[in-house]
């Protein structure tokens, strides 16, 4: 029976995804009809990292009628139990739970895994999953360092598995339409793009060395990263602001919008990257910039920027998040939702496409559940019928690399010259030391 199911997953379409959003997401009444497609015809999925965003993703996957959310893994026992209970409410059955996701990977019935851990785990976990023969849905950013991204690109090819990055806007219908309009010339030749993210985050204070909570496996939480003593202001969300594990606001939120710019302008690697900013708002343990402007120049004659303000929530163009394309015939704005607006050169609105679906870009857990389901279904389509991925790992790595280069420029304090053929930093030994990260001995990524 299992052999038949695996053959099905490799060769057969798992039902036809409805074009409307309502047809994609069954909603919380999913258990009423999730068995229309037989259990043996569903994709068996595990979830790794199920606190906050990971919990929202696991629930969204579980709501898909062609998915069996079979296991959840987390180093936080509280998060594991909460996720198991949530999945049980949706499906009527409790998935297996693991403290160590490597145990979950041993299950030969698992087809794919969701990875929504802290950033330092993204690439190493994805590599282990690919080696175990699993397809991977990997939250952005795809890697902690550029070197890790390159390894994942090669690994997906070598192990012949689907690897989709979770920059979900690539699957949002009206955002896709906006990009098509840009490429069809609605604003003429685009030559400049700006993107941004704003928020009003508080101080994380000065952490104190303390005992590791009984619910946390601190050793495994650190995993590939060199060991540090536990402090009371690291877990859960504040790790974003420490270079040891996080990648700052640039990769936390900038990845999404810079990806839209790169997509619309149809470029790959820049020739020059610079960054200005710093930690200005509070005096605390926060290491990454709370204010940052990254600028990227391309040999095609394009320039793009990303502005991040973590501690001042004043909107740009009326939105907390967005991407604006400027061309020689007009401009096109994509904000946080599934829509866009076209303007002429004088700034007059020419056309506007909107979606009734409400989006909250500052919601770290689940800003757009129904729209994100489209990205999940695209992932499933890649597995079952070779459907073109909205964001394969090659594309995901290129967009992630842009903001990684910005962070490297920020850390060394100067602009970087980049090889437009492969994105590598030219003639800068100090900057190139940040191309790869240090690992805890025994945790190095090896193909």
Residue 92: which domain range?
Answer: 2-170+373-385
Query: Which tens digit of pLDDT belongs to each residue from 404-413?
Result: 999 999 999 9
Query: Which tens digit of pLDDT belongs to each residue from 393-442?
Result: 999 999 999 999 999 999 999 999 999 999 999 999 999 999 999 999 99
Mean pLDDT along residues 14-22: 34
d(CA 41, CA 27): 20
Residue 446 domain-assigned (yes or no): no
pTM flag (> 0.85): yes
Residue 440 domain-assigned (yes or no): no
Of residues 273 and 38, more confidently modeled: 273
Residue 232 domain-assigned (yes or no): yes
d(CA 145, CA 153): 13
Q: What's the pLDDT score for residue 368?
A: 74
Task: Tell me phi and psi for residue 136, to 5 degrees.
Answer: -130, 130
User: Is the pLDDT assigned to residue 28 strictly greater than 70?
Assistant: no
Q: Could you check whether the bond before residue 169 is cis, i.e. omega within 30 degrees of 0?
A: no
Of residues 13 and 395, more confidently modeled: 395
Strand partners, 417: 272
Give the contacts of 347 (CB within 8 A, at least 6 positions apart).
Answer: 331
Q: What's the pLDDT score for residue 356?
A: 78
Residues 153 and 177 both lie in one domain = no
pLDDT classification of 390: cutoffs 50, 70, 90: very high
User: Is the pLDDT assigned to residue 9 strictly greater than 80?
Assistant: no
Residue 443 domain-assigned (yes or no): no
Number of structural domains the chain divides into? 2
The answer to whether the beta carbons of residues 33 and 102 sit under 8 Å apart is no
User: Is the pLDDT assigned to residue 251 strictly greater than 80?
Assistant: yes
The answer to whether the beta carbons of residues 393 and 386 sit under 8 Å apart is no
> Tokens 């699993």 appear where?
134
Q: What's the pLDDT score for residue 35?
A: 35
Residues 166 and 177 both lie in one domain = no
Residues 187 and 132 both lie in one domain = no
Strand order in the sheet with 302-309: 349-353, 340-344, 330-334, 321-327, 190-198, 302-309, 291-298, 272-278, 416-417
Residues 76 and 142 both lie in one domain = yes
Query: Which tens digit of pLDDT belongs to each residue from 202-228?
Result: 999 999 999 999 999 999 999 999 999
Q: What's the pLDDT score for residue 131?
A: 98
Query: Which tens digit of pLDDT belongs to each residue from 271-290?
Result: 999 999 999 999 999 999 99
Q: What's the pLDDT score for residue 4?
A: 55
Helix, strand, coil percentages (3-state) for the chain, rounded to 5, are 35, 20, 40
User: Is the pLDDT assigned to residue 184 strictly greater than 50?
Assistant: yes
Residue closest to 148 by CA, chosen among 37, 251, 29: 251
Residues 289 and 221 both lie in one domain = yes
Of residues 11 and 138, more confidently modeled: 138
User: Which element (helix H / strand E) includes 236?
Assistant: none
Residue 115 domain-assigned (yes or no): yes
Query: Which tens digit of pLDDT belongs to each residue from 340-373?
Result: 999 999 999 999 999 877 666 666 555 678 889 9
User: Is the pLDDT assigned to residue 152 strictly greater than 60?
Assistant: yes
- Mean pLDDT (the chain) is 91
Helix (H, G, I), strand (E, B) or coil at 262: helix
Residues 380 and 417 both lie in one domain = no
CATH number of the domain that residue 297 is part of: 3.30.360.10
Residues 184 and 69 both lie in one domain = no
The answer to whether the beta carbons of residues 197 and 309 sit under 8 Å apart is yes
Q: What's the pLDDT score for residue 12?
A: 41
């Amino acid at each position: 029976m299992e052999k038949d199911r695996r053959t099905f997953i490799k060769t057969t379409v798992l039902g036809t995804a409805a074009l409307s959003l309502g047809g994609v997401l069954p909603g919380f009444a999913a258990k009423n009809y999730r068995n229309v497609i037989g259990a043996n015809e569903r994709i068996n999925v595990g979830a790794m990292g199920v606190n906050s965003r990971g919990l929202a993703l696991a629930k969204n996957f579980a709501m898909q009628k062609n998915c069996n959310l079979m296991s959840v893994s987390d180093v936080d026992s509280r998060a594991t139990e909460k996720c198991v209970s949530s999945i049980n409410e949706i499906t009527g059955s409790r998935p297996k739970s693991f403290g160590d996701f490597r145990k979950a990977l041993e299950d030969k019935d698992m087809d794919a895994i969701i990875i929504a851990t802290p950033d330092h785990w993204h690439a190493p976990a994805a590599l282990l999953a690919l080696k175990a023969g699993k397809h991977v849905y990997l939250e952005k950013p795809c890697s902690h360092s550029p070197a890790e991204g390159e390894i994942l690109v090669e690994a997906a090819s070598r192990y012949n598995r689907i690897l989709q990055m979770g920059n979900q806007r690539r699957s949002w219908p009206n955002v896709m339409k906006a990009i098509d309009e840009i490429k069809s010339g609605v604003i003429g030749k685009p030559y400049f793009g700006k993107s941004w993210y704003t928020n009003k985050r508080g101080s994380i204070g000065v952490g104190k060395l303390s005992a590791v909570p009984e619910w946390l496996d601190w050793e495994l939480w650190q995993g590939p990263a060199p060991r540090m003593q536990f402090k009371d202001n690291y877990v859960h969300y504040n790790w974003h602001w420490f270079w040891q594990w996080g990648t700052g606001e640039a990769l936390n939120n900038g990845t999404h919008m810079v990806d839209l710019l790169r997509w619309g302008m149809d470029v790959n690697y820049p020739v020059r990257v610079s960054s200005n900013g710093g930690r200005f708002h509070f005096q605390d343990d926060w290491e990454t910039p709370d204010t940052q402007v990254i600028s990227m120049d391309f040999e095609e004659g394009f320039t793009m920027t990303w502005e991040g303000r973590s501690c001042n929530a004043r909107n740009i163009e009326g939105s907390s998040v967005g991407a604006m394309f400027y061309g020689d015939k007009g401009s096109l704005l994509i904000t946080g939702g599934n829509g866009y607006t076209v303007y002429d050169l004088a700034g007059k609105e020419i056309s506007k496409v909107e979606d009734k679906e409400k989006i909250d870009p500052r919601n770290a857990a689940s800003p757009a559940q129904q729209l994100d389901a489209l990205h999940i279904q695209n992932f499933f389509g890649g597995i079952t019928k070779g459907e073109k991925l909205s964001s394969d790992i090659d594309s995901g790595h290129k967009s992630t690399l842009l903001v990684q280069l910005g962070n490297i420029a920020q850390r060394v304090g100067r602009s970087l010259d980049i090889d437009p053929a492969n994105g590598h930093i030219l003639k800068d030994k100090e900057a190139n030391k940040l191309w790869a990260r240090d690992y805890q001995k025994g945790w190095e990524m090896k193909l």
